[in-house]
Amino acid sequence: MPALLPSLVTTRIDPERCIGCERCIPVCPSDTLSMVDGKAVVTGATSLQCGHCAAVCPTDAIRVEALDEGMLRFRTFDLDPAWLPHGQGDLPGLVRLMASRRSCRNFTEQPVERDMLEDLIRIACTAPSGTNCQPWAFTVLPDRKAVMRLGDRLLVFFDKLNAMAANPWIRTAEKVFGKGQLDAYHRGYRQRVQEGIDAYRAGGRDRLFHGAPAVIVIAQSPGATTGFEDVMLASQNLLLGAHAMGLGTCLIGFAVEAMHRDASIQAVVGIPKSERVRAVVAIGHPAERFKTVAGRRAAPIRWG
Ligand SMILES: Cc1cc2nc3c(=O)[nH]c(=O)nc-3n(C[C@H](O)[C@H](O)[C@H](O)COP(=O)(O)O)c2cc1C
Ligand code: SF4
Protein backbone atom coordinates (compact mmCIF):
# COMPACT_ATOMS: atom_id res chain seq x y z
CA MET A 1 0.00 0.00 0.00
CA PRO A 2 1.49 3.38 -0.93
CA ALA A 3 1.96 6.08 1.67
CA LEU A 4 -0.56 8.87 1.79
CA LEU A 5 -0.01 11.58 -0.80
CA PRO A 6 0.95 14.94 0.64
CA SER A 7 -2.10 16.93 -0.42
CA LEU A 8 -0.84 20.46 0.06
CA VAL A 9 0.08 22.08 -3.25
CA THR A 10 2.80 24.66 -2.69
CA THR A 11 3.87 25.01 -6.32
CA ARG A 12 3.93 28.61 -7.51
CA ILE A 13 4.40 29.49 -11.18
CA ASP A 14 5.41 32.94 -12.39
CA PRO A 15 3.45 33.43 -15.63
CA GLU A 16 5.82 36.21 -16.72
CA ARG A 17 8.73 33.80 -16.69
CA CYS A 18 6.94 30.77 -18.19
CA ILE A 19 7.81 30.38 -21.89
CA GLY A 20 5.42 27.47 -22.40
CA CYS A 21 8.06 24.84 -23.14
CA GLU A 22 5.96 22.14 -21.39
CA ARG A 23 8.98 20.45 -19.81
CA CYS A 24 7.42 20.53 -16.36
CA ILE A 25 4.33 18.56 -17.39
CA PRO A 26 5.72 15.04 -18.03
CA VAL A 27 8.16 15.09 -15.08
CA CYS A 28 5.42 15.71 -12.53
CA PRO A 29 4.39 12.41 -10.88
CA SER A 30 1.23 13.83 -9.33
CA ASP A 31 -0.26 15.62 -12.38
CA THR A 32 -0.23 18.89 -10.48
CA LEU A 33 0.41 21.06 -13.53
CA SER A 34 -1.26 21.49 -16.92
CA MET A 35 -0.80 23.79 -19.89
CA VAL A 36 -3.50 26.43 -20.15
CA ASP A 37 -3.34 29.01 -22.94
CA GLY A 38 0.32 28.19 -23.54
CA LYS A 39 1.40 28.58 -19.92
CA ALA A 40 1.95 26.06 -17.14
CA VAL A 41 -0.60 26.41 -14.36
CA VAL A 42 -1.42 24.53 -11.18
CA THR A 43 -4.60 22.53 -11.82
CA GLY A 44 -4.12 19.46 -9.63
CA ALA A 45 -5.32 19.14 -6.06
CA THR A 46 -2.31 17.18 -4.76
CA SER A 47 1.44 17.42 -5.04
CA LEU A 48 4.32 15.19 -4.00
CA GLN A 49 6.29 18.38 -3.42
CA CYS A 50 9.20 16.65 -5.14
CA GLY A 51 10.36 19.76 -7.00
CA HIS A 52 10.94 17.96 -10.29
CA CYS A 53 9.05 20.75 -12.07
CA ALA A 54 11.23 23.50 -10.62
CA ALA A 55 14.37 21.49 -11.35
CA VAL A 56 13.51 21.07 -15.03
CA CYS A 57 12.24 24.59 -15.78
CA PRO A 58 14.73 26.47 -18.01
CA THR A 59 13.54 29.91 -16.86
CA ASP A 60 13.20 29.37 -13.11
CA ALA A 61 9.49 30.07 -13.37
CA ILE A 62 8.54 27.51 -10.71
CA ARG A 63 9.00 27.48 -6.98
CA VAL A 64 7.79 24.78 -4.62
CA GLU A 65 7.37 26.64 -1.37
CA ALA A 66 7.42 23.53 0.81
CA LEU A 67 11.04 22.90 -0.17
CA ASP A 68 13.73 24.42 2.03
CA GLU A 69 16.70 25.64 -0.01
CA GLY A 70 18.77 25.67 3.17
CA MET A 71 18.76 21.87 3.13
CA LEU A 72 21.29 22.02 0.29
CA ARG A 73 23.59 24.52 1.99
CA PHE A 74 26.26 22.66 3.89
CA ARG A 75 28.50 24.03 6.60
CA THR A 76 31.60 21.93 6.11
CA PHE A 77 31.78 21.84 2.29
CA ASP A 78 30.37 23.54 -0.80
CA LEU A 79 27.88 21.71 -2.95
CA ASP A 80 27.61 22.38 -6.68
CA PRO A 81 23.81 22.40 -6.97
CA ALA A 82 23.89 21.72 -10.72
CA TRP A 83 22.27 18.38 -11.49
CA LEU A 84 24.76 15.64 -12.35
CA PRO A 85 23.50 13.98 -15.55
CA HIS A 86 23.13 10.20 -15.75
CA GLY A 87 26.43 8.52 -16.48
CA GLN A 88 28.53 11.45 -15.27
CA GLY A 89 29.14 10.35 -11.69
CA ASP A 90 32.50 8.96 -10.61
CA LEU A 91 31.44 5.31 -10.48
CA PRO A 92 34.72 3.75 -9.29
CA GLY A 93 34.97 6.51 -6.68
CA LEU A 94 31.39 5.93 -5.54
CA VAL A 95 31.80 2.18 -5.23
CA ARG A 96 35.13 2.61 -3.45
CA LEU A 97 33.44 4.92 -0.95
CA MET A 98 30.62 2.40 -0.39
CA ALA A 99 33.02 -0.50 0.06
CA SER A 100 35.34 1.52 2.30
CA ARG A 101 32.60 2.40 4.77
CA ARG A 102 33.06 -0.09 7.56
CA SER A 103 31.37 -0.30 10.92
CA CYS A 104 33.69 1.48 13.31
CA ARG A 105 34.15 -0.16 16.70
CA ASN A 106 36.96 2.02 18.00
CA PHE A 107 36.38 5.74 18.21
CA THR A 108 38.78 8.36 19.53
CA GLU A 109 37.61 10.72 22.28
CA GLN A 110 37.71 13.69 19.89
CA PRO A 111 34.28 15.33 19.84
CA VAL A 112 32.39 15.65 16.57
CA GLU A 113 31.71 19.23 15.48
CA ARG A 114 28.06 20.21 15.45
CA ASP A 115 28.45 21.50 11.88
CA MET A 116 29.45 18.00 10.79
CA LEU A 117 26.46 16.45 12.56
CA GLU A 118 24.10 18.96 10.95
CA ASP A 119 25.62 18.33 7.53
CA LEU A 120 25.18 14.58 8.03
CA ILE A 121 21.47 15.12 8.61
CA ARG A 122 21.19 17.17 5.42
CA ILE A 123 23.06 14.42 3.55
CA ALA A 124 20.69 11.81 4.99
CA CYS A 125 17.70 13.81 3.77
CA THR A 126 18.76 13.55 0.13
CA ALA A 127 17.42 9.97 0.25
CA PRO A 128 14.27 9.01 -1.64
CA SER A 129 11.13 8.24 0.35
CA GLY A 130 7.75 6.68 -0.43
CA THR A 131 5.57 9.41 -1.96
CA ASN A 132 8.28 11.83 -0.87
CA CYS A 133 6.83 11.87 2.62
CA GLN A 134 10.30 12.16 4.27
CA PRO A 135 9.07 10.55 7.48
CA TRP A 136 12.37 10.85 9.35
CA ALA A 137 13.11 12.62 12.60
CA PHE A 138 16.67 13.00 13.88
CA THR A 139 17.67 13.13 17.53
CA VAL A 140 21.26 14.19 18.00
CA LEU A 141 23.22 13.17 21.08
CA PRO A 142 26.12 15.51 20.43
CA ASP A 143 28.56 14.55 23.16
CA ARG A 144 29.65 11.64 25.29
CA LYS A 145 27.52 12.75 28.24
CA ALA A 146 24.36 12.65 26.13
CA VAL A 147 25.38 9.32 24.58
CA MET A 148 25.91 7.77 27.98
CA ARG A 149 22.58 9.06 29.29
CA LEU A 150 21.05 6.73 26.72
CA GLY A 151 23.73 4.10 27.40
CA ASP A 152 22.92 4.02 31.12
CA ARG A 153 19.23 3.50 30.41
CA LEU A 154 20.03 0.73 27.95
CA LEU A 155 22.20 -0.89 30.60
CA VAL A 156 19.18 -1.09 32.92
CA PHE A 157 17.18 -2.68 30.10
CA PHE A 158 19.81 -5.31 29.27
CA ASP A 159 20.39 -6.06 32.96
CA LYS A 160 16.70 -6.93 33.32
CA LEU A 161 16.64 -8.87 30.05
CA ASN A 162 19.70 -10.88 31.04
CA ALA A 163 18.21 -11.70 34.44
CA MET A 164 15.05 -12.97 32.73
CA ALA A 165 16.98 -14.91 30.08
CA ALA A 166 19.14 -16.55 32.76
CA ASN A 167 16.03 -18.00 34.37
CA PRO A 168 15.11 -21.35 32.71
CA TRP A 169 11.51 -21.15 34.01
CA ILE A 170 10.91 -17.78 32.37
CA ARG A 171 12.57 -18.99 29.14
CA THR A 172 10.32 -22.05 29.05
CA ALA A 173 7.20 -20.00 29.79
CA GLU A 174 8.10 -17.53 27.02
CA LYS A 175 8.68 -20.46 24.64
CA VAL A 176 5.23 -21.89 25.43
CA PHE A 177 3.24 -18.66 25.56
CA GLY A 178 5.40 -16.39 23.39
CA LYS A 179 7.66 -16.72 20.37
CA GLY A 180 10.71 -18.28 22.00
CA GLN A 181 12.70 -15.07 21.48
CA LEU A 182 14.06 -15.08 25.01
CA ASP A 183 15.52 -18.54 24.52
CA ALA A 184 17.07 -17.46 21.20
CA TYR A 185 18.54 -14.40 22.93
CA HIS A 186 19.89 -16.58 25.71
CA ARG A 187 21.63 -18.88 23.26
CA GLY A 188 22.87 -16.20 20.87
CA TYR A 189 23.62 -13.05 22.83
CA ARG A 190 23.18 -13.18 26.60
CA GLN A 191 26.73 -14.14 27.47
CA ARG A 192 28.27 -11.52 25.17
CA VAL A 193 25.93 -8.80 26.38
CA GLN A 194 26.71 -9.70 29.99
CA GLU A 195 30.43 -9.43 29.32
CA GLY A 196 29.78 -6.00 27.76
CA ILE A 197 27.79 -4.87 30.81
CA ASP A 198 30.44 -6.14 33.21
CA ALA A 199 33.23 -4.45 31.26
CA TYR A 200 31.36 -1.15 31.21
CA ARG A 201 30.63 -1.34 34.96
CA ALA A 202 34.27 -2.05 35.65
CA GLY A 203 35.06 1.22 33.87
CA GLY A 204 36.37 -0.57 30.81
CA ARG A 205 35.43 -0.64 27.20
CA ASP A 206 32.05 0.65 25.99
CA ARG A 207 30.97 -2.27 23.81
CA LEU A 208 27.55 -0.84 23.05
CA PHE A 209 28.51 2.47 21.42
CA HIS A 210 32.20 1.60 21.03
CA GLY A 211 33.17 4.81 22.81
CA ALA A 212 31.44 7.02 20.24
CA PRO A 213 31.36 10.70 21.22
CA ALA A 214 28.11 11.27 19.30
CA VAL A 215 24.99 9.39 18.26
CA ILE A 216 22.21 10.23 15.84
CA VAL A 217 18.94 8.38 16.43
CA ILE A 218 16.73 8.26 13.36
CA ALA A 219 13.06 7.63 13.97
CA GLN A 220 10.08 7.21 11.71
CA SER A 221 7.36 9.77 12.21
CA PRO A 222 3.75 8.56 12.25
CA GLY A 223 1.64 8.12 9.14
CA ALA A 224 4.24 6.77 6.72
CA THR A 225 3.66 3.34 5.29
CA THR A 226 7.16 2.93 3.84
CA GLY A 227 8.77 4.53 6.88
CA PHE A 228 11.18 1.71 7.62
CA GLU A 229 12.60 1.71 4.11
CA ASP A 230 12.75 5.51 4.03
CA VAL A 231 14.67 5.75 7.28
CA MET A 232 17.12 3.02 6.29
CA LEU A 233 17.84 4.72 2.96
CA ALA A 234 18.47 7.99 4.80
CA SER A 235 20.70 6.13 7.25
CA GLN A 236 22.85 4.68 4.48
CA ASN A 237 23.33 8.16 3.01
CA LEU A 238 24.42 9.37 6.42
CA LEU A 239 26.91 6.51 6.82
CA LEU A 240 28.45 7.20 3.42
CA GLY A 241 28.56 10.95 3.97
CA ALA A 242 30.27 10.41 7.32
CA HIS A 243 32.96 8.26 5.76
CA ALA A 244 33.63 10.89 3.10
CA MET A 245 33.89 13.52 5.88
CA GLY A 246 36.48 11.49 7.76
CA LEU A 247 34.13 10.15 10.39
CA GLY A 248 33.46 6.56 11.42
CA THR A 249 29.98 5.20 12.08
CA CYS A 250 28.32 2.09 13.42
CA LEU A 251 24.65 1.14 13.37
CA ILE A 252 23.69 0.00 16.86
CA GLY A 253 20.94 -2.58 16.38
CA PHE A 254 21.04 -3.55 20.06
CA ALA A 255 19.83 -0.05 20.98
CA VAL A 256 17.04 -0.13 18.38
CA GLU A 257 15.86 -3.52 19.59
CA ALA A 258 15.83 -2.36 23.22
CA MET A 259 13.81 0.72 22.29
CA HIS A 260 11.26 -1.45 20.50
CA ARG A 261 10.89 -3.74 23.49
CA ASP A 262 10.69 -0.93 26.04
CA ALA A 263 9.01 2.19 24.65
CA SER A 264 10.01 4.22 27.70
CA ILE A 265 13.68 4.21 26.65
CA GLN A 266 13.22 6.62 23.77
CA ALA A 267 11.71 9.18 26.13
CA VAL A 268 15.13 9.44 27.82
CA VAL A 269 16.41 11.21 24.72
CA GLY A 270 13.20 13.15 24.11
CA ILE A 271 11.72 11.04 21.33
CA PRO A 272 7.91 11.07 21.52
CA LYS A 273 5.95 7.83 21.71
CA SER A 274 4.40 8.50 18.30
CA GLU A 275 7.79 7.99 16.60
CA ARG A 276 9.36 4.59 16.02
CA VAL A 277 13.13 4.39 16.25
CA ARG A 278 14.66 2.67 13.23
CA ALA A 279 18.36 3.44 13.40
CA VAL A 280 20.82 4.39 16.12
CA VAL A 281 24.10 5.53 14.56
CA ALA A 282 27.25 5.85 16.64
CA ILE A 283 29.50 8.53 15.16
CA GLY A 284 33.01 9.72 15.85
CA HIS A 285 36.55 10.04 14.63
CA PRO A 286 37.79 6.55 13.88
CA ALA A 287 40.70 5.05 15.78
CA GLU A 288 41.08 2.29 13.22
CA ARG A 289 42.37 2.04 9.66
CA PHE A 290 41.90 -0.75 7.13
CA LYS A 291 44.14 -1.77 4.27
CA THR A 292 41.52 -2.97 1.81
CA VAL A 293 37.82 -2.48 1.09
CA ALA A 294 35.02 -4.78 2.33
CA GLY A 295 34.73 -8.36 1.18
CA ARG A 296 31.26 -9.85 0.77
CA ARG A 297 29.80 -13.31 0.26
CA ALA A 298 28.64 -14.17 -3.25
CA ALA A 299 25.24 -12.55 -3.84
CA PRO A 300 22.32 -14.91 -4.41
CA ILE A 301 21.08 -13.82 -7.83
CA ARG A 302 18.03 -15.14 -9.66
CA TRP A 303 17.40 -14.27 -13.30
CA GLY A 304 13.72 -14.24 -14.13
C1 LIG B 1 20.64 -3.15 11.16
C2 LIG B 1 22.06 -3.27 11.66
C3 LIG B 1 22.32 -3.36 13.02
C4 LIG B 1 23.62 -3.43 13.49
N5 LIG B 1 23.85 -3.45 14.84
C6 LIG B 1 25.14 -3.45 15.31
C7 LIG B 1 25.40 -3.35 16.73
O8 LIG B 1 24.49 -3.30 17.57
N9 LIG B 1 26.69 -3.30 17.13
C10 LIG B 1 27.73 -3.35 16.24
O11 LIG B 1 28.90 -3.31 16.66
N12 LIG B 1 27.52 -3.47 14.90
C13 LIG B 1 26.24 -3.49 14.41
N14 LIG B 1 26.00 -3.54 13.05
C15 LIG B 1 27.14 -3.60 12.12
C16 LIG B 1 27.25 -4.94 11.37
O17 LIG B 1 27.78 -5.92 12.22
C18 LIG B 1 28.14 -4.68 10.15
O19 LIG B 1 27.48 -3.81 9.27
C20 LIG B 1 28.48 -5.96 9.39
O21 LIG B 1 29.28 -6.82 10.17
C22 LIG B 1 29.27 -5.65 8.09
O23 LIG B 1 30.45 -4.96 8.37
P24 LIG B 1 30.71 -3.50 7.77
O25 LIG B 1 29.58 -2.59 8.23
O26 LIG B 1 32.03 -3.08 8.36
O27 LIG B 1 30.77 -3.59 6.29
C28 LIG B 1 24.70 -3.47 12.56
C29 LIG B 1 24.44 -3.39 11.20
C30 LIG B 1 23.14 -3.29 10.74
C31 LIG B 1 22.89 -3.16 9.25
S1 SF4 C 1 9.07 24.17 -17.47
FE2 SF4 C 1 8.94 26.34 -16.83
S3 SF4 C 1 8.90 27.48 -18.76
FE4 SF4 C 1 8.44 25.35 -19.29
S5 SF4 C 1 6.17 25.25 -19.25
FE6 SF4 C 1 6.87 24.63 -17.19
S7 SF4 C 1 6.87 26.54 -16.00
FE8 SF4 C 1 6.75 27.15 -18.18
* Cβ of 216 below 6 Å from ligand 2: no
What is the 8-class DSSP label of residue 129? -
User: Which CATH code fits 69-291?
Assistant: 3.40.109.10
* Cβ of 99 below 6 Å from ligand 1: no
* Cβ of 19 below 6 Å from ligand 2: yes
* Cβ of 251 below 6 Å from ligand 1: yes
For the full predicted model, state whether its pTM sits above 0.75. yes
Q: If pLDDT is split at 50, 70 and 90, which confidence band does 294 have?
A: confident
Say how many Å lie between the CA of residue 68 and the centre of ligand 2: 21
Q: Please answer whether residues 113 and 104 qualify as being in contact, where contact means their C-beta atoms are separated by less than 8 angstroms.
A: no
Query: 245-255: per-residue pLDDT in tens?
Result: 999 999 999 99
Q: How far is CA 132 from CA 51, 76, 233, in A?
A: 10, 26, 13
Predicted local distance difference test score (pLDDT) of residue 46: 93
Q: Give ranges for CATH 3.40.109.10 in the chain.
A: 69-291
Q: If pLDDT is split at 50, 70 and 90, which confidence band does 112 have?
A: very high
Specify the amino acid at residue 212. Answer: A
Say what percent of the chain tops pLDDT 90.
Answer: 83
On the question of pLDDT at 5 being above 70, the answer is no
* Cβ of 253 below 6 Å from ligand 1: yes
On the question of pLDDT at 264 being above 70, the answer is yes
Say how many Å lie between the CA of residue 23 and the centre of ligand 2: 6
Give SS3 for 261.
helix
Predicted local distance difference test score (pLDDT) of residue 205: 82
Helix (H) or strand (E) holding 33: strand 33-36
**104-113, 138-147, 294-303: least confident range:** 294-303
Predicted local distance difference test score (pLDDT) of residue 6: 56
Give SS3 for 14.
coil
* Cβ of 36 below 6 Å from ligand 2: no
Angle, nearest 10°, between helix axes 114-124 and 227-245?
A: 140
Say how many Å lie between the CA of residue 10 and the centre of ligand 2: 16
Q: If pLDDT is split at 50, 70 and 90, which confidence band does 234 have?
A: very high
On the question of pLDDT at 3 being above 60, the answer is no
Class of domain 11-67: alpha beta
Q: Taking residues 123-140, what's their average pLDDT?
A: 96
Predicted local distance difference test score (pLDDT) of residue 1: 40
Q: How far, in Å, CA of 228 to CA of 276, rounded? A: 9
On the question of pLDDT at 2 being above 50, the answer is no
Q: Taking residues 230-239, what's their average pLDDT?
A: 98
Q: Give ranges for CATH 3.30.70.20 in the chain.
A: 11-67
In sequence order, which ranges of the chain are alpha helices (DSSP H)? Answer: 24-27, 52-56, 91-100, 114-124, 144-166, 168-177, 181-185, 191-201, 227-245, 253-261
Q: Taking residues 53-71, what's their average pLDDT?
A: 96
Say how many Å lie between the CA of residue 33 and the centre of ligand 1: 44
Residue bearing the CA closest to ligand 2, atom 1: 57
Count other Cβ atoms within 10 Å, centred on residue 235.
21
Better-scored residue on pLDDT, 235 or 168: 235
Q: How far is CA 139 from CA 117, 123, 151, 268, in A?
A: 11, 15, 15, 11
* Cβ of 252 below 6 Å from ligand 1: yes
Better-scored residue on pLDDT, 71 or 196: 71
